[in-house]
A and B are shown apart, each in its own frame.
Chain A
């Protein structure tokens, strides 16, 4: 299959890759660029473990083609911390024990950050519906909701 050359921006840095026309953005990130923070839980857009943002929009990277990344601005979990300073959401997840196995955590953090950028003060219900596309099997979501709200409060205060 003929490959496509793609120039894009990932976590603020220019990036280039080649991919086949049927290759997903998730496969490109994981297999070609070594960015394995996004996880494949289903490959069908049902679990949210592969969540990234493309031009600020939250997507399941398993449902986006690598070729669609041309000239786009992509953010992944690897770009969430500022150097060695964790994002308030990342810190809150650790402090509130909002992860157990941690496999859904990158996707949930990316999704929660995308929400707080639009809506810095969500209700619990808004937050629960926003995160309804991110499956977590360990926590029952309780501590995730608390952690995101704690981070949101801190970010509003900052």
Chain B
């Protein structure tokens, strides 16, 4: 057991920056993504989508489309069953509308044809009669009694009576006496905040290639963050056994949480089954925006009391999140994360989920947390301004630490928040001079991190090389970090390891690549699989030497006798043991399966300088520094990459990105021209400072790093802008028109 937990050690390879193993494929155009595969006899599919925000489907007539030359199959909701399970039914209804369309872009029918042109032409021949219904796309409007009901009868039992039927879920976290806490404060600030829905904005549109054969077997090639979860969902919706559906994850062109959920894969499978041919289905960018992804939108109230010396006496947040037309519980994570950075005697977070006529929300990097923490960190900043207190000092004064009972219940083990805050305080960025119209902002960020179901096989080849088989798509360099951990544990060079991502038939179940879990959990399983292989190699050496297994240990990539009593034998390297494995018992492989817990939480602090152009309301980010606890940075370049990428996504959320709906309930900016994600000329370099406060739950101390980075930028930018313009900004994004309006109102 001692070996399972973190042990301080000197690393030889972990912490270095070797080239990633999939690098050459990805710089030469050879890497195969979702849309890059073809199959013999392949058809092309297109989806017909609702032009209405909310409507009853009176009828669908596909006869003219079916008669078109080249059309081989058409499916609608009538081609699927009606799952009894609420979650599965929602997933299916999101893929293909049943009875009602619930948002602009909701799928109503799909066509497979011999060419894309024929499939497009067929869509125009499908006649859908709609009876339009009143719609609601705003979270506050949807909560009001009398609002159009998106779906009736979906509220969970925990929702208080008397609310709109759109309110499906309620949660509450916290401890302590709020009234007493607020009474102790020298000042109490309560503010209302609103944030727009954003999209993950992965550059690769969702794509798959489905092939169902008449013997009931099926193959699915798809860009996904989790081939096993996709298999579970697709097999359930198509009434297949899991073993008959093999899902292969293509290289993935970004996901950020958005490719943890199926959108059109069962449709491609159903079309393939009906046509008896392989079917390729690639979404357009317009479809990606209208029917996949987005985050929740939110309406939030935060109230915090503070003494004049900066001590927070009580804190409360009321969060209303809307995740579109289906129930979800993302607000729980927002509510739990809201005050995680603080050691509080009295704290309460209340959350509600509200349905609106928008596409079904999907995870986006630390789902739920950036919003609530934006609101909390904005109010903390306003209190600091009021009392003239240093915002870093106030956060240090109130910071959660080892032993703190967190605002959401658990007591923290070793965490890196204080070290991260101190690193920011000591950094030259914090005291650099600012010019006119410029402001500096900072924010703490937090994410829980996750472990989960994980399975790794490690094969020792007879030439002394090693293959690692794992089940999580490589979304940002994880093959490199997993290879590094295997090399470290085995004591052989990184170059001798090749890590591959298995399809669903080649390895046991692995949870989705989410929750910042891969380097933590797959890393842990890889280390354990390596230890399993090491035990077997020691046993082979013992056999050769004619001594007890227990008398052999593994040192620097070789079996050696453990101490003088074990006998005198020269070390046998991995390659030497592998070369003779056929004579000592056959192939050597290590395995490990686990439902991992012990993923250490991760804190970050972001510091940014911005300048607002008073003429246009445009905000330019001048300087940006990310401080984050990685536990142990296995491949520091890719850890920095996660921190930089998360920061820039957050900058986009803060300044520009938003789903804009018209009064007709239709999405008005479903393209990269009008939904503006940050481009290279918008940004400075993103400086990074990696802290390494080991996670006690991982042999090398690793914590997940992927998600925390998107949490602080919203408030860091908002605080910087608010300080620069002298107006507290309480709505995201702070796009130029909104900022200009605030400047004009200030006069």
Contact = CB atoms under 8 A, between A and B. Distances in A.
Contacts of A47: 203, 285, 672
Nearest to B19: A94
B202 interface: yes
Q: How large is the interface on A (under 10, 10 to 19, 20 to 34, 35 or more residues)?
A: 35 or more
Interface string A31-43: 0000111111111
B649 interface: yes
B28 A78 contact: yes
Taking each of A77, A134, A139, A141, which has the highest tally of chain B beta carbons within 10 Å of its own beta carbon? Answer: A141
Contacts of B29: 35-38, 76-78, 106
A137 B293 CA distance: 14
A128 B32 CA distance: 28
Interface string A140-156: 11111100000000000
A1 interface: yes
A102 B672 CA distance: 19
A41 B17 CA distance: 30
A135 B637 contact: no
A104 B202 CA distance: 10
Contacts of B17: 97
A46 B669 CA distance: 13
A128 B252 CA distance: 25
Given A41-B285, A101-B204, A103-B254, A138 B27 contact: no
B644 A143 contact: yes
Interface string B11-25: 000000101101110
Contacts of A96: 637
Interface stretch (B160-168, B240-248, B676-684): B676-684
A67 interface: no
Contact of A99 (B26, B635, B680): B26
Given A138-B641, A145-B685, A90 B203 contact: no
Contacts of B30: 37
Nearest to A49: B203
Contacts of A129: 680-681
Interface string B682-715: 1101100000000000000000000000000000
A135 B30 CA distance: 20
B251 interface: yes
A142 B253 contact: no
A80 to B, nearest CB: 7
Contacts of A93: 23, 27
A109 interface: yes
Interface in B604-652: 635, 637-638, 640-641, 644-645, 647-649
A77 B26 CA distance: 10
A139 B23 CA distance: 15
Contact of B644 (A39, A43, A125, A142): A142
B82 interface: no
A15 interface: no
Contacts of A46: 285, 671-673
A140 B27 contact: no
Given A100-B477, A102-B22, A134-B680, A141 B648 contact: yes
Contact of A90 (B27, B33, B202, B255): B27
B28 A97 contact: no
A103 B28 contact: no
Interface in B367-398: none
B117 interface: yes
Nearest to B199: A137
Nearest to B201: A137
B203 A135 contact: yes
B23 A99 contact: yes
A69 interface: no
Interface in A64-117: 76-78, 80-81, 86, 90-91, 93-97, 99-106, 109
A41 to B, nearest CB: 4
Nearest to A99: B26
B251 A143 contact: no
A25 interface: no
Contacts of A94: 19-20, 23-24, 27
Contacts of B255: 101
Contacts of B22: 102
A75 B284 CA distance: 25
Contacts of A109: 27
B345 interface: no
A119 interface: no
Contacts of A127: 680
B644 A140 contact: yes
B205 A41 contact: yes
A44 B254 contact: no
A15 to B, nearest CB: 16
A132 B680 contact: yes
B67 interface: no
A136 interface: yes
Contacts of B641: 97, 100, 138-139, 143
B254 A101 contact: yes
A129 B251 CA distance: 29
B230 interface: no
A7 interface: no
A131 interface: yes
B413 interface: no
A55 interface: no
B672 A95 contact: no
A101 B253 contact: yes
Given A134-B680, A142-B686, A99 B33 contact: no
B514 to A, nearest CB: 15
Contacts of B203: 39, 41, 47, 49, 101, 103-104, 135-137
B680 A102 contact: no
B643 to A, nearest CB: 9
A140 B645 contact: yes
Nearest to B34: A103
B36 A40 contact: no
A145 B678 CA distance: 15
A120 B733 CA distance: 38
Nearest to A133: B679
B204 A103 contact: yes
A142 B203 CA distance: 17
B55 interface: no
A137 B677 CA distance: 8
B475 interface: yes
A39 B204 contact: yes
8 contacts: A76-B29, A102-B27, A137-B677, A139-B645, A139-B648, A140-B648, A142-B685, A145-B685
Given A100-B254, A138-B645, 18 more contacts: A36-B32, A37-B28, A39-B35, A39-B253, A41-B204, A42-B672, A46-B672, A91-B27, A97-B17, A100-B645, A101-B202, A101-B204, A102-B253, A103-B251, A106-B27, A138-B641, A140-B648, A140-B683
